Structure 1
Amino acid sequence: MEMETPRSSETRWSRVASSLPVRNVQDLATCCEGLTEETLKRYIRLDTQDNEVLSEQSGEVPVIDLGKLFNPDFAEEESARLRFACEDWGFFQIVNHGIPDEVIASIRNDIEKFFQLPLEVKSGYAQLPGDLQGYGQSFVVSESQTLDWSDMFVIIAHPPQARDMRYWPVQPHTFRQSIEEYSSELMKTAHSIVTVIAKTLNIDLGLMNDKYACQYLRMNYYPPCMTMAEKVLGFSPHSDGSFLTLLLEVNSVEGLQIKRYNAWIPVKPNPNALLVNVGDFLEIMSNGKYKSIEHRVTINTNKERLTLSAFHVPSLDGVVSPVTSRAEEKALYKTVGVEEYSKLYMSNKLDGKTALDHAKLL
């Protein structure tokens, strides 16, 4: 494996926090000892049924056509739909996003192949102490906390000088190229989305240029849990500590749920769309007009779920301030340092929107 090292100060993103090593969940799910209550005791939750699940509303997340946002004949109407989605849902599906089908097919195929590799091969890309990048888990900060039923693989993809090639897999052999192509195309898509978001908020785009400058990719693997799927979660309820997150469903297995009016709404995967959600930094910058929404991942009884989350985050040296559109509008959030907020977010177990509470003035 190549031992290239990163050169940019942006690599500090990978050192914002670290996670304690825990057992590989994919391996546990297939182990011969069986998925008993004893082997699952660190994963079993008592709160999975705390809120109602409204399955009849599945698939109602607003759909936005990116092409229409830049077509003079449809731009005004589609921009209004985008504004509504950010204000009322905090999530939307983006179609006609412009990423070539072959680029998406390649990254999907290589992610599936990577997680099919033997554990000893994947472990060659394991997280190093003090680093968020690599193969393992995140947000494990104590030996006693309840664990999520998932494995993940994280790399910094943008800017290029921030990449640590030790973590970029050489198996499957096309993986590095797939990551490079997808990351590049996704940066273009993110720029287009942010351009329109700036217009809907009446914020100078120049103020947003550094707010999504860094991109880190997290490949998520949620094994099935045949015996106690209803008692474990793939990801704890949380909002994203990003500016904007773009999610690609790799294999269209359901599991994502978003919190809306104190109930959980299952999101039906759309193979032709990217799922976009507002992050904490965008909520702060919009002064609460656009909301980062709690979401979680549930587990299937007999099917694995794979996704690729792309977190677009501000430059670590920067600050994010609420932008008020009127002189009489009161700021509802503090100005936060990106590094300070990110350390707070990443160094604690996931717990709803508690990290964002530290940024609120009221």
Structure 2
Amino acid sequence: MKNFPVVDLSKLNGEEREVTMEMIKDACENWGFFELMNHGISLEMLDTVERLTKGHYRRCMEQRFREMVEMKGLEALQSEVGDLDWESTFFLKHLPESNISEIPDLEEEYRKVMKEFAKELEKLAEQLLDLLCENLDLEKGYLKKVFQGSKGPTFGTKVSNYPPCPKPDLIKGLRAHTDAGGIILLFQDDTVSGLQLFKDGQWIDVPPMKHSIVINLGDQLEVITNGKYKSVEHRVIAQKDGNRMSIASFYNPGSDAVIYPAPALLEKEAEKNTQVYPKFVFEDYMKLYAGLKFQAKEPRFEAMKAMKESTVNLGPIATV
């Protein structure tokens, strides 16, 4: 845990910028995850989001979860469950259009705060994409432009609670997977742990730290960087005690965005004869991912490679 990469984003503005950028580079290349402190989102906002999220769960979702557990007989489990997750969730869409006003049971204060929180996370995601461009020696704005498609990026939030589980050895909070999209920003509980990533043949805890934002990379950034950065398998372990809050926001390419390895990176690697990742429309990848989320990512890439490239209209990407 002590070696898990923790980046102080405020140091980008001082003498430690070079060291901080190197930390981000190393985390992207060797971990696929890092934790951000001093990220620019106010601590008051984070505290409010946590308070309202936990209150909403107790008021509107806890009883429903208990009824689901009873209906499925999960408290009496005797053997491992491989097709179910011990989590209570709902989803918010922010871009290209918000659905927050349509979600039932949300108090007006909660709606307002989550809209504001999403705006802050969107700014942070775009800042991070530009930092990745800098580390990759890509033109500033390249990744944001790739994500645009015709309607701009897709951006949404999965709000999850992982209640106390009587049989955590038999059911996962969330089964192991890589994320399909672009860059993921997670505001997680700082008292109840459970998130783990797979590195060097073992599962490693992602430390819960107060007021931090955990960043991880999705499959699309692995493709765009031609494998220089990797999406990493991760999971949530159910716990016997405590209710773990998880607010994961996914800043993804637009549905019709064309995803393929950055030509500038391929030019650098031409002499190495490295494998080139496929090119595809993001929406096509998501359709495939929907049924294969909890399986290895490599066959998904192979399946996209096998699709007829004639379906992809590959135009030049302008940068800002």
Which of the five TM-score ranges fits, normalised by the shorter chain?
0.7 to 0.9
Displacement of 1:278: 1.0
Distance 1:334 1:360 in 2: 5
Q: Where in structure 2 are the equivalents of 1:161-180 lying within 5 Å?
A: 162-165=97-100, 167-169=102-104, 171-180=106-115
State whether structure 2 residue 154 is matched by structure 1 residue 209.
Answer: no
Distance 1:66 1:208 in 2: 20
Q: Where in structure 2 are the equivalents of 1:95-106 lying within 5 Å?
A: 95-106=37-48
Q: Where in structure 2 are the equivalents of 1:305-324 lying within 5 Å?
A: 305-323=244-262, 324=266
Number of equivalent positions: 280
Identity of aligned residues (%): 30
Quote the residue 1:137 is aligned against. Answer: none
Q: Structure 1 stretches of 5 or more lacking a match?
A: 1-57, 124-143
Quote the residue 1:82 is aligned against. Answer: 24
Q: Structure 2 stretches of 5 or more lacking a match?
A: 66-80, 307-320
Residue 333 of structure 1 contacts residue 359 of structure 1 at CA under 8 Å; is this kept in 2? Answer: no
Give the alignment partner of residue 339 of structure 1, picking from 283, 286, 303: 283
Give the alignment partner of residue 155 of structure 1, picking from 92, 101, 104: 92
Matched position secondary structure for 1:198:
helix
Quote the residue 1:11 is aligned against. Answer: none
Displacement of 1:180: 0.8
Matched position secondary structure for 2:131:
helix
Displacement of 1:173: 3.1
Quote the residue 1:223 is aligned against. Answer: 163
Cα distance 1:168–1:333, how it changes in 2: closer, same or farther (>3 A)? same
Matched position secondary structure for 2:191:
coil
Give the alignment partner of residue 119 of structure 2, picking from 179, 184, 187: 184
Query: TM-score, normalised to structure 2's length?
Result: 0.81
State whether structure 2 residue 177 is matched by structure 1 residue 238.
Answer: yes
Distance 2:82 2:192 in 1: 27
Cα distance 1:261–1:302, how it changes in 2: closer, same or farther (>3 A)? same
Distance 1:360 1:94 in 2: 34
Q: Where in structure 2 are the equivalents of 1:1-362 lying within 5 Å?
A: 58-69=1-12, 71-119=13-61, 146-159=83-96, 162-165=97-100, 167-169=102-104, 171-210=106-145, 211=147, 213-226=153-166, 228-323=167-262, 324-326=266-268, 327-328=270-271, 330-353=274-297, 354-359=299-304
Displacement of 1:235: 0.8
Distance 2:63 2:164 in 1: 21
Distance 2:237 2:301 in 1: 23
Residue 236 of structure 1 contacts residue 351 of structure 1 at CA under 8 Å; is this kept in 2? Answer: no
Amino acid corresponding to residue 108 of structure 2 in structure 1: H
Distance 1:331 1:292 in 2: 17
Distance 1:119 1:269 in 2: 23
Distance 1:112 1:271 in 2: 15
Distance 1:266 1:80 in 2: 22
> RMSD in angstroms over aligned alpha carbons?
2.3
- The structure richer in helix per residue is 2
**What is the CA deviation profile of residues 201-223 of structure 1, one whole-angstrom value per residue up to 9, with x for unaligned ones?**
11123321142722110001111
